[in-house]
Amino acid sequence: MSEILMPVRLSDSIIRDLEQRHHVHRLWEAPDAEAFLADVASRIEVIVTAGSILASGMTLMVDASFIARFPKLKLIANHGVGYDTVDAAFSASRGITVTNTPDVLTDETADTAFGLVLSTVREFSAAERYLRAGQWMNGPYRLTASLRGKTMGILGLGRIGKAIAKRGEVFGLTIAYCGRNKQADVAYVYHATPQALAQACDILVVAAPGGLQTRNIIDANVLKTLGPQGFLINIARGSLVDEAALIEALRSGIIAGAGLDVFGHEPKVPDAFLSLENVVLLPHVGSASVETRKAMADLLIANVDAYATGGQLLTPVPECMLARASARC
């Protein structure tokens, strides 16, 4: 049995499952969080958290000052592939391993990205609103842009980026990408900067990790370069896009449209987006199918159980694998 801190509320099934074998301390239920932490902090070995909003509707930064409060902490198990809310480098330096839930959500998230591509370029959401408003009686919905002959630029060609690229190929799109490095085993055209990628593509898909290094990487200049026939799709993190610049770009036709599953301050969505017709908005549902969320939960729990039984952790994040290689984790 491990002493687990759950700062934000995860799904009931995760809580039920963990509570069968572990002692789960529910921070989100505590009327006085400080007093609660003062009581349990010295016993906590595991923090189970989420990369973004789940049922509790809040995000918690598991940063250095938070992590430092738990002298016995050994594992931070993150529900989600993105772990930008966890300071993994600091954890690794303290011998604390961070795990995430990669692979099991790759296809679901890529499907969501592609759904957004279709819905944004072909205006399916707007066309449905047109039908529901009874406007079809007055004439057909206007003609839209097409995927035919387009280039899809993917910012961040990791597992999810590659799965999006595969879907793009099936739809006849030319694929280009930008990332920290050119990938030797990939035939797609590489661009070293988001600006160069935006110049080369019609549909720019953001699939890179969040965090300080990528903050506002899609700024007013990149949007201007993407141009009035260009579309922006974001299924990664809201923090990668300068939202004020995007709103201005959508409003004034600097780009043609956008499809967003993620926002800077979820679950708050800027009012300006709600009144724009050329943006498709989803409430961060990238991985949110019954099957995929079950697979993510299973992997999260398997990591916690592996820690508790002295087994090998299944999916430590790269920062911790590197630290382990140098025998610190």
Q: Which residues bind ligand 8YV (CB under 6 A)?
A: 50-52, 54, 79-82, 105, 284, 286-287
β-pair partners for 50:
79
d(CA 20, CA 14): 10
CA dist list (Å): 218 to 65, 233, 266 = 29, 11, 18
Side chain identity at residue 104, one-letter code: V
Cβ closer to ligand 8YV: 105 or 226?
Answer: 105
Q: Is 108 a catalytic residue?
A: no
Among the listed residues 22, 25, 167, 237, the single catalytic one is 237
d(CA 157, CA 163): 9
The residue whose Cβ lies closest to ligand 8YV is 80
Q: Is 23 a catalytic residue?
A: no
Cβ closer to ligand 8YV: 12 or 32?
Answer: 12
Minimal distance in Å, beta carbon 100 to ligand 8YV? 7
Minimal distance in Å, beta carbon 146 to ligand 8YV? 30
Q: Is 237 a catalytic residue?
A: yes
Minimal distance in Å, beta carbon 249 to ligand 8YV? 24
Closest CA to 317 of 161, 88, 162, 45: 88
Strand-pair category, 97-99 with 75-79: parallel
Are residues 82 and 209 in contact, defined by beta-carbon separation less than 8 angstroms? Answer: yes
Minimal distance in Å, beta carbon 95 to ligand 8YV? 24
Three-state DSSP at 253 gives: coil
Going by the DSSP 8-state scheme, the letter that residue 142 receives in this structure is: P
Among the listed residues 108, 284, 293, 319, the single catalytic one is 284
* Residues known to be catalytic: 237, 266, 284
